[in-house]
Amino acid sequence: MTAPEAGRGIGNGESSAEITTTFGFPRDTFRILHVSTGNVCRSPITERLTRHFVSQRLGVLGGGLIVESAGTWGHEGAAMEAHAETVLAEFGADASGFVGRELLDDHVIRADLVLTATRDHRAQVISMGHSAGLRTFTLKEFTRLVNAIDPATLPPLDEGLVMRARALVRAAAALRGWLLAPTAEADEVYDPYGAPLTFFRSIGDEIHQALDPVVTALTGVPARA
């Protein structure tokens, strides 16, 4: 099997001089889009933890990486749930300035990697078209695939974070048919909306455990002890 081509965050900025993608967007950026339902619990936690963990490893969130989120039934303009903010604060991550968004075609078109909370979210993103199936995974599915990739096969970070990230997505897509989930539930991050803080914390821990190997693979830098 050959690897398929992979196609409101913060990054280093985008200039008109940049080389563009097929869709007309800059090639020297890499956009990660986290998707859940309301975009007030799971995807905000995942978005902000991704930013935090990349910054911990590299000292800054940059190198062309842009991390954002949206919801399939997104509460447009809504604030993050208070318990989600608490969970982020306990990880040392920044929850400030977050505004909920409804998932739009443009978000999917611009994304180089879409990571969803559940299989249903993944199916909804793929149903939007835009060749999204080649670059859309549940978060836990992507983690499972990343864990099977030899980091030595990826471009070193000194060749650029964007190049490394694109290679990671291609490698994960190539493995998808070979590494199936042990159970259907193994790829799910369940919705904590309306639940007590203890359940939000458990979801935060799940997201942390899933993100850690992904961020390590992206940056080539393991988490600090």
Q: Which two tokens stand for residue 19?
A: 């080389």
For 35, residues 6+ apart whose C-beta sits below 8 A from its C-beta are: 43, 69, 70, 71, 72, 103, 114, 115, 116, 117, 121, 125
Angle between helices 197-219 and 42-58 (to 10 degrees): 40
First to last CA, the chain: 37
The closest alpha carbon to 161, from 9, 10, 30, belongs to: 30
Residue 27: what pLDDT?
A: 64
Residue 59: what pLDDT?
A: 85
Q: pLDDT digit string (tens) for 8-66? A: 333 333 333 333 443 344 468 999 999 999 999 999 999 999 999 999 999 877 779 99
What mean pLDDT value characterizes the chain? 88
Query: The dihedral of CA 6, 114, 133, 18: what is its sign?
Result: negative
Q: pLDDT digit string (tens) for 70-114? A: 999 998 999 999 999 999 999 999 999 999 999 999 999 999 999
Q: pLDDT digit string (tens) for 76-87? A: 999 999 999 999
pTM: 0.88
Distance CA 212, CA 50 (A): 9
Distance CA 222, CA 57 (A): 7
Give the percent of the chain with pLDDT over 70: 88
Distance CA 197, CA 71 (A): 21
Residue 225: what pLDDT?
A: 61
Residue 208: what pLDDT?
A: 98
For 106, residues 6+ apart whose C-beta sits below 8 A from its C-beta are: none
Identify the three-state secondary structure at position 185.
Answer: helix
Residue 133: what pLDDT?
A: 94
Q: Which two tokens stand for residue 216?
A: 């390590």
pLDDT at 6 over 90: no
Give the total residue count for the chain.
Answer: 225
CB atoms near residue 59 (< 10 Å): 9
